[in-house]
Amino acid sequence: MTKPSVLFVCVHNAGRSQMAAGWLRHLAGDSVEVRSAGSEPADRINPVAVAAMREVGIDLTEQIPVRLSWDDARASDVIVTMGCGDACPVFPGKRYEDWKLTDPAGQPIEVVRRVRDEIRVRVAALLAELTGS
């Protein structure tokens, strides 16, 4: 069986999609290929999101926001969007999920922690579906 691949997409690739990718890498190890991207990537990851993830032992400091590419989307089995609307590409035959999550940009750490924890629950459920565990 080939390794499933997941692409997390948000507008700036600086908060939600980076946290989701961090959680999936943490929970799945190398059993799932993980990508994240943004329709309009920021210059850097949201430092409050980095701090919130550091609290749970996940280091996002080396991650860099990247622009969403058609190749990444085409190569992914599951595409999870988080607020990028029409900027997210649609490929026939791909599984799509749209996660309605608060944008952590400009939010205090308390709000970002809630977003982080909600993302963890969703990522764990997705992982269980993908791996059958």
Question: What residues act catalytically?
Answer: 10, 84, 88
Q: What φ, ψ does residue 88 adopt, rounded to 5°?
A: -85, 130
What is residue 1's three-state secondary structure?
A: coil
Q: How does DSSP classify residue 84?
A: -
Tell me which amino acid residue 64 is.
I
* CA separation for the pair 88, 133 (Å, rounded): 29
